[in-house]
């Protein structure tokens, strides 16, 4: 008896194979965005496990070649000094950028094809939580190199936490282990970044995928035409083994190759270039996925504030909490604003509902306009002009796409 | 009480006790309070350069010229980031309220260098710009703009409060010495 047969017999793998390996996976090029995010996470865990072997989570000052510097910063410079270490660290950064980018594209694919509708509301929420947790994990990782850029970015995060109404100072001190910059912050963020965040992300990803398997993937809209309505709950696609598994393996290798090539040619977060932390603040902008918050912070004038239930909601809380909070709430509530009456089996066409298309494009435009506001000084645009763009562009896009998708006709008929 | 109810209550009390016992542990997450190692600024402290080759040397009247500013710490208290101040030398004739005039000397004024918006370190610039055709303080993070001649009031951008002024005087050696506490809380206020 072969070893494979022995293991199969002992573990009852035949039944497992019969039940799961034949699971059909509908194929469409946009159905791989979530998988790309998953493979980026795998790359992040792999490169992170390597980096953690060398990184020293301490802000204690040591005397390096160029004078005193924090231990964490010195260990990053040491990692960058070896060719393989530099490549792995860049891959870690690039995979994080690609993970967030693919999650955002995945989210847009789900939105514009209405795949959030009944019964997939739970996975819509879970997906948004995953996006938030990924951004949180990135933010925690941002501090770890402890260069001037990292410390500035985290100090702004600390300021934002402090500005939260009612609980701000306590929240900031609990989250950052005392007033930032404090020596306790580095071990705290190290724990967040290498233990709490990966564990939470792994659990959430597992839950997201189990629910996907249970509820089944939506099929491309074209499948509706070739299926009797009574058979809508059935699903056609390539089996998990071997077709879907091979597609996934190829995609995983492509993700690794792309991060490696990007890392080989495009430096990302060059800590030695930023230098160790100093009392002065460099000109910094956040990564692309937080530019819209940065833009909102620059747009809200200091005089804008109001009192609510005993707390003063100031300009910083409006820009970094209220505006993102309202946008996040609107996105979370999408499955309840656009409810399906029966279970959804086929992805809808993006133009099927002019209202959904217009709302989605308007929100995307708002994010882009706020990000543009982050570049006001570079573009020579004043705050009033940027306000007009931020308010007018989403409205114009909403109106234009609503009309182009036949919204008026639909309403009139 | 029957056995089932007893088991049920035991379980609930046990869970409650386990949660309650974790509270002291959770409270330690707050991090260390500011201890003796991080001292606040006090009247009588000399201001010393925070950066550059003169770091640690006293800031003196002759150490920088008009319409120039330096970053400084109260001597021996650089561990506390909130002590970072920006010392500027301005034209005394241009100074005016709400600046605390008794806290200035020969045009030397000092402000907290921590932006009241989100805590970045502010910068001084003598070059006029459209929004501020005079020497001004600005923040590189979100473009907050302050007027150092008039008590650090907000001239533009997102800052919700003026920069806190740190009253200073000159001692007989011409060194800049703190003469009073910050006029308002430093940094981001909740």
A103-122 pLDDT tens trace: 999 999 999 999 999 899 99
pLDDT at A411 exceeding the cut of 50 = no
B69-79 pLDDT tens trace: 888 888 888 87
The pLDDT, as a whole number, for residue A306 is: 85
Question: B50 in contact with A at a CB cutoff of 8 Å?
Answer: yes
Nearest beta carbon to residue B188 from set A159, A173, A294: A159
DSSP E strand stretches across chain B: 47-49, 68-74, 85-89, 108-112, 123-125, 136-138, 145-147, 153-156, 168-170, 176-178
Structure tokens that stand for B176 in this block: 């800049």
Window 53-92 of B, Cβ < 8 Å to A: 71, 81-82, 84
pLDDT at B45 exceeding the cut of 80 = yes
The pLDDT, as a whole number, for residue A110 is: 96
The pLDDT, as a whole number, for residue A107 is: 97
Closest CA to A176 of A59, A56, A51: A59
pLDDT at B36 exceeding the cut of 60 = no
ipTM of this predicted complex?
A: 0.87
Quick one: pLDDT band at residue A51, thresholds 50, 70, 90? very high
**Is there a contact between B59 and B177 (Cβ–Cβ < 8 Å)?**
no
Q: Which domains does chain A have, with CATH numbers?
A: 26-285 (1.20.810.10)
Mean pLDDT of B18-43: 80
pLDDT at A59 exceeding the cut of 60 = yes
Mean pLDDT of chain B: 86
Nearest-CA distance A37 → chain B (Å): 31
The pLDDT, as a whole number, for residue B129 is: 67
Q: What would the DSSP string read from start to end of A211-247?
A: HHHHH-PPBPGGGGGGS-GGGTT----EEIIIIIHHH
Write down the CATH superfamily of domain B47-178: Rieske [2Fe-2S] iron-sulphur domain (2.102.10.10)
**Is there a contact between A144 and A72 (Cβ–Cβ < 8 Å)?**
yes
Quick one: pLDDT band at residue A412, thresholds 50, 70, 90? very low
**Is there a contact between B85 and B79 (Cβ–Cβ < 8 Å)?**
no
**Is there a contact between A373 and A390 (Cβ–Cβ < 8 Å)?**
yes
Mean pLDDT of B177-181: 88
Instruction: Please report residues of B whose CB lies closer than 8 A to that of A182.
Output: 31-32
Structure tokens that stand for A353 in this block: 């509902």
Torsion of CA A20, A26, A30, A36, to 10 degrees: 10
Window 104-163 of A, Cβ < 8 Å to B: 152, 155-156, 158-160, 162-163
Report the range of poorest mean pLDDT among A55-59, A392-396, B87-91, B125-129: B125-129
B162-171 pLDDT tens trace: 999 999 888 8
The pLDDT, as a whole number, for residue A336 is: 94
Question: A171 in contact with B at a CB cutoff of 8 Å?
Answer: no
CA-only gyration radius of chain B, Å: 24
The pLDDT, as a whole number, for residue B41 is: 84
Structure tokens that stand for A246 in this block: 């091979």
Burial classification of residue B23, based on how many CB atoms lie within 10 Å of its CB (0-12 exposed, 13-18 middle, 19 or more buried): exposed
The pLDDT, as a whole number, for residue A67 is: 78
Q: Which residues pair with B124 in a beta bridge?
A: B137
Mean pLDDT of A171-198: 92
Question: B114 in contact with A at a CB cutoff of 8 Å?
Answer: no
Quick one: pLDDT band at residue A247, thresholds 50, 70, 90? very high
Quick one: pLDDT band at residue B33, thresholds 50, 70, 90? low
pLDDT at B52 exceeding the cut of 50 = yes
- For the whole model, what pTM was predicted? 0.92
| Residue A323 Cα distances to A314, A330, A377, B39, angstroms | 12, 11, 22, 37
């Amino acid at each position: 008896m072969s070893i494979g047969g022995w293991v199969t017999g002992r573990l009852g793998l035949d039944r497992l194979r019969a039940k799961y390996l034949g699971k059909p996976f509908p194929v469409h090029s946009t159905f791989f965005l979530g998988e790309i995010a998953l493979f980026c996470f795998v790359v992040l865990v792999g490169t992170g496990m390597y980096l953690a072997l060398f990184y020293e989570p301490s802000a204690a000052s040591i005397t390096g070649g160029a004078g005193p510097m924090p231990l964490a910063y010195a260990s990053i410079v040491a990692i960058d000094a070896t060719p393989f270490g530099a490549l792995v660290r860049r891959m870690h950064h690039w995979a994080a950028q690609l993970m967030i980018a693919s999650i955002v594209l995945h989210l847009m694919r789900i939105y514009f094809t209405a795949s959030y509708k009944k019964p997939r509301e739970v996975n819509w929420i879970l997906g948004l939580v995953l996006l938030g947790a990924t951004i949180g994990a990135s933010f925690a990782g941002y501090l770890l190199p402890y260069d001037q850029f990292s410390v500035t970015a985290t100090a702004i995060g600390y300021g934002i936490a402090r500005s939260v109404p009612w609980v701000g100072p306590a929240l900031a001190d609990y989250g950052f282990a005392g007033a930032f910059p404090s020596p306790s912050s580095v071990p705290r963020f190290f724990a967040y970044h290498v233990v709490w965040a990966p564990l939470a992300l792994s659990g959430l990803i597992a839950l997201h995928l189990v629910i996907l398997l249970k509820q089944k993937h939506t099929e491309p809209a074209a499948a509706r035409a070739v299926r009797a309505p009574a058979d809508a709950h059935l699903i056609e696609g390539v089996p998990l083994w071997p077709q879907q598994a091979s597609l996934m393996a190829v995609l995983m290798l492509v993700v690794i190759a792309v991060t490696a090539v990007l890392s080989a040619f495009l430096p990302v977060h060059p800590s030695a270039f930023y230098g160790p932390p100093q009392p002065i603040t460099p000109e910094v902008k956040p990564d692309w996925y937080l530019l819209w918050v940065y833009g909102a912070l620059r747009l809200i004038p200091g005089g804008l504030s109001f009192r609510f239930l005993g707390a003063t909601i100031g300009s910083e809380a409006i820009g970094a909490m209220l505006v993102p909070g309202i946008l996040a709430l609107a996105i979370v509530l999408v499955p309840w604003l656009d409810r399906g009456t029966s279970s959804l089996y086929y992805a809808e066409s993006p133009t099927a509902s002019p209202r959904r298309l217009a709302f989605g494009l308007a929100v995307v435009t708002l994010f882009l306009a706020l990000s543009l506001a982050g570049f006001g000084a570079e573009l020579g645009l004043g705050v009033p002009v940027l306000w007009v763009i931020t308010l007018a562009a989403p409205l114009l896009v909403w109106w234009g796409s609503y009309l182009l998708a036949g919204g008026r006709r639909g309403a009139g008929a | 009480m029957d056995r089932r109810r007893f088991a049920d209550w035991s379980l609930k009390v046990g869970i409650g006790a386990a949660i309650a016992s974790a509270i002291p542990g959770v409270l330690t997450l707050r991090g260390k309070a500011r201890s003796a190692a991080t001292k606040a600024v006090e009247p009588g402290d000399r201001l010393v350069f925070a950066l550059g080759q003169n770091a640690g040397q006293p800031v003196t009247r002759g150490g920088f010229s008009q319409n120039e500013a330096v970053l400084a710490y109260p001597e021996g208290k650089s561990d506390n980031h909130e002590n970072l101040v920006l010392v500027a030398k301005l034209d005394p004739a241009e100074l005016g309220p709400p600046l605390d005039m008794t806290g200035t000397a020969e045009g030397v004024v000092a402000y907290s260098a921590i932006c009241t918006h989100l805590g970045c370190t502010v910068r001084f610039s003598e070059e006029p710009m459209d929004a501020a055709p005079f020497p001004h303080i600005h923040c590189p993070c979100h473009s907050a703009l302050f007027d150092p001649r008039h008590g650090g009031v907000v001239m533009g951008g997102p800052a919700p409060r003026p920069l806190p002024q740190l009253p200073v005087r000159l001692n007989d050696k011409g060194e800049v010495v703190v003469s009073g506490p910050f006029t308002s809380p430093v940094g981001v206020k909740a």
